[in-house]
Amino acid sequence: MNDGPPDRMQTGQPAAPVALVDAPAAAPSLAELGLENFPPYLMNRIMGRYNVSLREEMAALGLTTPQMRALAVLSVHDGLLIRELVVYAVVEQSTLSRALDALVKAGLVTRTPDPHDNRATRMSITAPGRAAYERLWPHMAASCAQMFRGIPQAEQQTFTATLQKMLRNIRKHDF
């Protein structure tokens, strides 16, 4: 039980502006800031809800979240090295390895040795894998649209551009 003050999110009070970038050493504590004003918390919570919203559709296709992420990425960037797929799919190597094993067994993706590096493996989506992903895509798009409901197109574009800048600030790879 939390004996502290209620989150502003619970009380309906407007969120206070956050200035974490200007003076990180002097940044307020999380308790002072409040969860509703801490972007990483909000991003995690939003993605958690997004993943839950797709769980039923993924289960109907026999897919887990890591498998869905691999198919989604491969539908856009086919033939990635596994180490690249780990980054794009935002899944730990060991978890992705198990997901890929299941996808290969189901005939949804294939593994091929990289022609330039025999130690590396490339992953490709198969026609059945693409079909499974295409059955899931409308649900993914609808969940995304629900997140942006009531937000003008210009704000959506600004938000996406801001997320892209944030990713460039923290990423460890060129992609």
- Whether residue 71 contacts residue 63, with contact meaning beta carbons closer than 8 Å, is answered with yes
CATH of the domain at 138: 1.10.10.10
Tokens of 61: 């296709």
Structural domain contains residue 35: no
The pLDDT assigned to 171 comes to: 87
Number of domains in the chain: 1
Model confidence pLDDT, tens digit, residues 22-71: 556 788 999 999 999 999 999 999 999 999 999 999 999 999 999 999 99
Structural domain contains residue 67: yes
Q: Residues, the chain, total?
A: 175
Structural domain contains residue 153: no
Q: What are phi and psi of 56, to 5 degrees?
A: -65, -45
Structural domain contains residue 24: no
Per the structure, the complete domain to which residue 130 belongs is given by: 61-146
Structural domain contains residue 94: yes
Structural domain contains residue 48: no
Largest interatomic CA distance in the chain: 60
Model confidence pLDDT, tens digit, residues 129-153: 999 999 999 999 999 999 999 999 9
The pLDDT assigned to 172 comes to: 86
Tokens of 86: 């780990």
Q: Which residue has the tokens 């539908």?
A: 75
Structural domain contains residue 21: no
